[in-house]
């Protein structure tokens, strides 16, 4: 039972992580694919049952984010990554384990917004050159 | 690409801003219109495509919040402003730029809650007399 | 009007509270009932119109969380507690009043996720042995 390991989390790291997650969705949802990709490490991995294979590395992550935004535009809708329930555990000086809830909300012109799915995300986050970035994201879908 | 400007955000400001946003929705959603209005500066502006014209100044903002709550009551439902994905950028010593996602969730007695819409909000937040307040809020609707 | 009492909230307490709420939902939603129960004080109370009577004390809270998870499993769905709009007010050195929005989102295999209800939660949170825990949670349902 490690419900209370957060005693070891320093304030600066907490703030940096919440800023990272606060910002990350805006980047992919607004089509700033390259900036989104650089919230991951250079060899960062994205693993999700929504996609046929893991995506790894800045170039592939950029293409992935570009495709997400283009697909939404082609469907005539805005798609948003809504992040809540951020729980941060320290693994080491420069490594954190983060769990969060991620809802996809989609909206077509003239229609009500709709909740498409809720996923549970587990991130391994590491500090490189003083900057926290996602080294590996593993997405689980509740509908899967 | 300014995905990582948050290095310059001090911890106290981060906490004050998250407390401001944590609290603001409760005020308008519970009908405390005047308190909601004072989360804006005295000449604060609210600009949204949901309303015919910008709303500016404490008195007008109070009326606006009163009307929001009265409209919900007249429709026999509770309406909630659900805030997520807060991203804070420092613009100057006493000025911040904040982006966030704002979902409107409505509930009628005896019915399931429903997501009405997701909006993207861009706030200019300033510090006056040691207190951070919203100077200008610009709402964009994904369905618009 | 106490919209701005947060001036008295220290940073460490803010971080501990956000970590507490970040973590709490994962515990009950993943079936770790005992760990969820220990986010409450030993005699902690949970009061909700969704349930016939208040639940009090670690053993009863554990059973309550076990039943929540078992009910979801029996219904063939995952149920998530999505927490937003955390507003923290200091009541005393070792006591806080917290309000938040709590949405229940449910997902069946192969189906879209759906928002079941939005509730407003008021927590009395106390510090015991250096650890913040929920002493009393009062849930209000917007559909009630």
Q: What is the pLDDT of residues C107-135, one digit of tens each?
A: 999 999 999 999 999 999 999 989 999 99
Q: Which of A10, A18, A2, A21 is nearest to A94 (CA)?
A: A10
What pLDDT is stored for residue B105 in this prediction? 97
Please report the DSSP string for A9-65 in residue order: --HHHHHHHHHHHHHHHHHHHTT-HHHHHTTEEEEEEEE-TTSSS-EESHHHHHHHH
Indicate if the pLDDT at residue B4 is higher than 50. Answer: no
Model pTM greater than 0.80?
Answer: yes
Q: Average pLDDT, stretch C44-58?
A: 93
Interface test with B, best of A81, A107, A118 (most B CBs within 10 A): A107
Selection from B47, B32, B71 nearest residue B141 by Cα: B47
- Give me the pLDDT at residue A2, please: 40
Put simply, whether B74 touches A (Cβ < 8 Å) is no
* Residue C27, token pair as written in the block: 């515990």
DSSP for B24-76, please give it. HHHHHHTT-HHHHHTTEEEEEEEE-TTSSS-EESHHHHHHHHHHHHHHHHHTT
User: What's the pLDDT score for residue C23?
Assistant: 97
| Distance from C-alpha of C3 to C-alpha of B115, rounded to nearest angstrom | 27
**Proportion of chain C above pLDDT 90, given as a percent:** 85
pLDDT of residue C132: 97
Cα(B100)–Cα(A106) distance, rounded to whole angstroms?
A: 16
CA distance B89 to A31: 19
Instruction: Assess A107–B contact: CB distance below 8 Å, yes or no.
Output: yes
Q: Which of A88, A114, A118 sits opposite C19 (nearest CB)?
A: A88
- C-alpha–C-alpha distance, residues B14 and C11, integer Å: 9
Residue in chain B nearest A27 by alpha carbon: B3
Q: Is the pLDDT of residue C51 over 80?
A: yes
Pick C99's closest partner by Cβ from B15, B26, B111.
Answer: B26
Count of C-beta atoms within a 10 Å radius of residue A76: 10
Q: Could you read off the pLDDT of C84-108 as tens digits, one per residue?
A: 999 999 999 999 999 999 999 999 9
Rounded to a whole number of angstroms, the distance from the CA of A49 to the nearest CA of chain B is 23
Q: Residue A120 pairs with which residues in a beta bridge?
A: A101, A140
**Residue in B82, B108, B131 closest to C101 by CB:** B82
What is the value of ipTM here, to two decimals?
0.93
Hey, which chains touch C, using 3+ CB pairs under 8 Å? Answer: A, B
Token pair recorded at residue A34: 């390259």
- Cβ pair B9, B15 in contact under 8 A: no
Element (H, E) at C75: none
Beta strands in C93-130 (DSSP E): 95-108, 114-128
In this prediction, residues C48-77 reach a mean pLDDT of: 95
DSSP letter assigned to residue B7: G
Interface of A with C in 4-33 (CB under 8 A): 4, 6, 9, 11, 14, 18
What is the Cα–Cα distance from A38 to C51, expressed in whole angstroms? 46
Assess whether pLDDT exceeds 70 at residue C3. no
Asked if C86 has any chain A CB less than 8 Å from its own CB, the reply is: no
Q: How far apart are CA A10 and CA B124, in angstroms?
A: 29
Mean pLDDT score of chain B, rounded to an integer? 93
Q: B97, B103 in Cβ contact below 8 A? A: no
Structural tokens at position A116: 């498409």
Residue B45 and residue B34: Cα distance in Å, rounded? 15
Distance of CA C16 to the CA centre of its chain: 14
Taking CA B112 as the corner, what is the angle to CA B106 and CA B117, rounded to the nearest 5 degrees?
35
Interface test with A, best of B87, B106, B141 (most A CBs within 10 A): B87
Give the distance from residue A110's alpha carbon to the nearest chain B alpha carbon, in angstroms. Answer: 5
Interface touch C103/B110, C-beta < 8 Å: no
Taking contacts as CB-CB distances below 8 angstroms, the residues of chain A near B115 are: 105, 112-115
Q: Which of A16, A17, A22, A80 to mutate to test the interface with B (most CBs of B within 10 A)?
A: A22
């Amino acid at each position: 039972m490690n419900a209370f390991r957060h005693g070891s989390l320093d304030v600066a790291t907490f703030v940096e992580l919440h800023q990272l997650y606060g910002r990350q969705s805006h980047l992919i949802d607004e089509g700033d694919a390259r900036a989104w990709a650089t919230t991951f490490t250079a060899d960062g991995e994205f693993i999700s049952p929504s996609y046929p294979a893991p995506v790894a590395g800045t170039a592939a992550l950029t293409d992935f984010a570009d495709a997400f935004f283009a697909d939404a535009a082609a469907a005539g809708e805005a798609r948003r990554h809504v992040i809540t329930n951020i729980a941060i555990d320290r693994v080491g000086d420069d490594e954190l384990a983060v769990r969060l809830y991620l809802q996809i909300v989609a909206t077509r012109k003239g229609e009500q917004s709709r909740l498409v799915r809720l996923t549970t995300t587990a991130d391994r986050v590491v500090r490189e050159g003083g900057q926290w970035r996602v080294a590996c994201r593993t997405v689980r879908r509740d509908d899967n």
